[in-house]
Amino acid sequence: MERGRPIFVKGIAMNTAPLEQADDTLFLIEDEAPPGTTPATEHAWRILIVDDDEQVHTTTLYALANLRILNRPLAFLHAYDSEQARRLLRDEPDIAVVFLDVVMDTEDAGLQLVRVIRDELKLEDIRIILRTGQPGYAPELDVISGYDINDYRTKAELTRTRLVTSLTSALRSYEQIRTIVYSRRGLEKIVHAASELFEQHGLESLSEGVLTQISGLLGISASGLICAQKGYPLDGSHPERLYVCGAMGRYASAINHALDNLGDARIENAIMECMRNRANLYQDNYTVLYLRSTGGSEEAIFLDSSAPLRGVDRQLLEVFATNISAGFSNVYLFQKLNYLAYFDSLTGLPNRQRLEQILESDWRKRGAPYVLAILDMDHFSDIQDVMGGAIAAGAMEAIAQRLRDGLPAGTTLARFAYDVLAIVGAPNQISGEILLELFHEPFEVAGFSLPISTSAGLSLCDAGLNGQEAISNASLALSQAKRASRGRCITFTNDLAESSRQRLHLTQALRRAIQDNQLQLHYQPQVDLHSGRLIGAEALLRWQSLDGQFVSPMLFIPLAEQSGLILQLGQWIMHESCRQLADWRGKGLDDIRVAINVSPQQIKHGICATQLKQAMQAHNIRPEQIEVEITESMVLEDIDAAIACLNCFKQTGVTLALDDFGTGFSSLSYLHRLPINLLKVDRAFLREIGQADSQSVRIGEMIVALGKLLKIRILAEGVETQLQLDTVRAWGCDSAQGYFYSPALSPDAYLDWAKNYRSAGAA
C-alpha cells in the first residue's frame, strides 16, 4: 500500500476477532459497486486514517471496505505520523473524518495534531474520532469538548459495528455542518451579490450580473437567460410581452429577442408555465425561477443544470430570487425616472435634454452635415384656453403622430417644449417646404377639425457645432420667424447671428440707460383744427446714448417689449409725464393734455391703470390732462383683455385713444365695443394726399366718417404739409399733429414753442 494516497477497497473477509461479532449484520456491506458506477467516479466521503501501526490501517480498510454510508462510498487517505497527517490535511480538500491515534511518535502526538487541525489549519468542519491502544493516555473531557472531538474509543472496544456506527455518526455530523457552512456562505454570497447588483441601473447589466452571481452561488457554469416585460414605452403596443434581457453561455445570442421568437419550445414552455403558475419550476436538467418586482412586473430566470438541484441549493436560490427581485424593482424605478427625465410622457418623444444628448452622441459623431428644425405651434395656447387641456393634449399627440408618419426614415423627432417640437435629419430630408406641407391639412381631434400652423427655425449644422450651439442657432431663427410673421420658416445665417448679438448688446445698454437715467421724454404738439388752439402733446420716448447720439425708437422699443423692460419703462413714462405736467403748470402752461402710449405687455400685466392713478395723485394731475393710447393690433391680440383694460382706465377719468386704426387687421366689428374717446388716423393714409385715385386716402376719409358716425373725436397723425392739413380738416378731423406744426421737442423746447405759438395768436 502506498502511504498517503487515497484508495478504495472492495470487501474482503476478515479474521480479526473483534470485527466478527454478531452485530456486524446490522450494516450493509456491498461486494460490488452499483451498476454503472465505480467508487472512483462517485463523490466519495474522504476518510483520513492517522496511526503509526500499519496493522490498524489494514484492519480499518477491511472493516469498512465497499461500505456505503449515507448513499456515498468511502475513500481513504493514510498518514503514519503527525507531520505526514499535517501535510495531507493542508493539501487535500474535503476530508470528512479523521481516525486519529492519540499516541504515536510522542505520547500526546494525536492531541497535538487535534490542536493543529482546529487552531492552526482552521479546519472546523472535519470530524475527529480518537483511538488509542493505551487507555491511560485518554484525553481529558475538556479537550474532547474544547476541540470538538466526535468520539473517543480504545482500539480494544472498536468492533466493526462500533467503528461503522462512529463513522456514520461523524459523517452525518459532517454533512450537517457542511450544509450549514454552505448555506451560510451562500447567504453571504447573496448579500454580497445583492449589494453589487443593486448598483446596476440597466436591465441588461443587472440580468448579466444575476446570471453570473447564480453561477457563483451554485458553483455551476453560467448558461441561462432572463426574461422580463419591457412595458411602456419600450414596447407600448405589447407591454405584457416577454423579452430576453440577459443571457449567458450558449444562450448569449438570444439577448433582446422576444421569448416567442427564440424558436426553442422547451425554454418558451418552461418560462410560460413558470409565469402562469407564478412559482419556481425545478426539472432534472433545468430550473426556472419566478420573480415579481414591487412594481408588479414579472421576470423569469432560466438556468441549465446537469443534475437536479439539491434541497439546500433550491433554498438558496429562492432566498436569492426574493432578494434580487428588489434589484429589478430598482432598475424599473430608475428606468421610469430616466424616462421622465429624458422623454415626454404625452407623446413618448425625447425631450429637450435628450435631444441635446442625441445631437452630441449621434448626429454630431456621424461627421456629416445635418439640419435641426425647431417648430413652434402658432397660437397653440388658444386651443388650451378655449377648448381645454384634453383637446390641447390630443392636438399635440396628433401633430407628433403626423410628423412621425410624414417625416423620412432616419430623422429624429423630439418635443422641445410645451408647444414646440424639434426635428433632426439630413439636409435632403428637412426643409421649410417639407415642414409647412405637413401642416397644410387640419388635425382631427375628438371630433374637432383644428387648423394649426407652425413657425420654424432651421439650422444647418456640421460636426464642429455642439448640440447646444445647434439648438441656439435654430432657436434664434425661430425667434426671427415669429417676429417676422407667423407660419414661416427661417434658416439661420451668420447675419442673423450678428443681428441677434447687436440686439443683445443694445438690450444690455438699454438696461444700463434706464438705471443711469439716460432716457427722456420729448413732446409733439397736438392742435385743435377747429380753433387752432394748442390742446396737448404726445409723449414720445427718446434715448440719447453716452456718445450724444440718439438711438431710434424703432430699435429699442421692440427690444424693451421683448425683454420685459417695457413694464419698467411704462411706469416711468407715466410718472415722468405727470411730473412734467406739474412742472409746466408751475410755469404757466396748465391747460394741455399729454398722450401716453401703453404697450401690450402693460395691458397683460393688468396694473397699469392703478400705476397711472398713483402717478396722477403723486403730482396732483387732473384726469382730463391725461390721454392713454393703445394700438389696434393690441386690441385684436386679445379683445376681451383690451376692453377690460380700457374700462379700468375709463374709471380713472382719463381720455382713451385708439392708435394706428386701419393699418392692421380690421377691428371694425369691435370698434363699437371699445370705450374710446378718440380715434387716431395713421400717417399712412395721409402720405398719398394729392395723388389721383389713391386708395389709402379714400380709406383715411372713410375712417374719419366712421368715427363721426360713432361720435368719436378724430386726430390725424403725421400732418406735414398744408395740403395734408387742409385735407384732414375737410374730412372732418378734430385735431392734428405732425411736422407741419413741430417735431417732438424736449420739455423746455416744448414750453418755449407753446408760448411762441400762443403769442403768435394761433391759440
- Given a cut of 50, is residue 207 above it in pLDDT? yes
CATH number of the domain enclosing 233: 3.30.450.40
Choice among 198-212, 433-447, 598-612, 671-685 with the minimum mean pLDDT? 198-212
DSSP state of 691: S
Q: Is residue 442 part of a domain?
A: yes
Q: Is residue 357 part of a domain?
A: yes
CB-CB contact of 756 with 732 (8 Å): no
Do 162 and 42 lie in one domain? The reply is yes
Do 294 and 370 lie in one domain? The reply is no
CATH number of the domain enclosing 21: 3.40.50.2300
Do 144 and 216 lie in one domain? The reply is no
Do 207 and 176 lie in one domain? The reply is no
Do 317 and 420 lie in one domain? The reply is no
pLDDT tens digits along 622-633: 999 999 998 877
What pLDDT shows up at residue 625?
96
pLDDT tens digits along 508-557: 989 998 888 889 999 999 999 999 999 999 999 999 888 888 888 888 88
Choice among 152-156, 445-449, 487-491, 679-683 with the minimum mean pLDDT? 152-156
What pLDDT shows up at residue 323?
63
pTM: 0.51
Q: Is residue 646 part of a domain?
A: no
Burial of 730 by CB count in 10 Å (0-12 exposed, 13-18 middle, 19+ buried)?
A: exposed
* Nearest one of 232, 185, 208 to 324, comparing CA atoms: 208
Q: Is residue 172 part of a domain?
A: yes
Mean pLDDT of 245-266: 81
- Given a cut of 80, is residue 664 above it in pLDDT? no
CATH number of the domain enclosing 477: 3.30.70.270
**Which of 307, 342, 377 is the C-terminal boundary of a domain?**
342
Q: Is residue 575 part of a domain?
A: no
CB-CB contact of 592 with 537 (8 Å): yes
CB-CB contact of 715 with 676 (8 Å): no
Do 159 and 94 lie in one domain? The reply is yes
- CA torsion sign, 18 to 20 to 21 to 25? positive
Cis-peptide into 93, omega within 30 deg: no
Do 365 and 330 lie in one domain? The reply is no
Range of the domain at 74: 17-182
pLDDT tens digits along 80-117: 998 999 999 999 988 999 999 888 878 788 888 888 88
Higher pLDDT, 122 or 39: 122
Q: Is residue 113 part of a domain?
A: yes
pLDDT band for position 233 (cuts 50, 70, 90): very low
CB-CB contact of 292 with 327 (8 Å): no
Separation of alpha carbons 426 and 434, rounded Å = 13
**Which of 309, 342, 375 is the C-terminal boundary of a domain?**
342
What pLDDT shows up at residue 10?
32
Do 86 and 136 lie in one domain? The reply is yes
Do 53 and 152 lie in one domain? The reply is yes
Q: Is residue 672 part of a domain?
A: no
Do 278 and 325 lie in one domain? The reply is yes
Do 334 and 465 lie in one domain? The reply is no
pLDDT tens digits along 573-593: 999 999 999 999 999 998 899
pLDDT band for position 198 (cuts 50, 70, 90): very low
CB-CB contact of 182 with 312 (8 Å): yes
> Total domain count for the chain?
3
Do 138 and 55 lie in one domain? The reply is yes
- H or E element that contains 403: helix 389-406
Higher pLDDT, 139 or 221: 221
The dihedrals phi and psi of 45, each to the nearest 5 degrees, come to -70, 130
Q: Is residue 395 part of a domain?
A: yes
**Which of 286, 318, 342 is the C-terminal boundary of a domain?**
342
- Given a cut of 50, is residue 16 above it in pLDDT? no
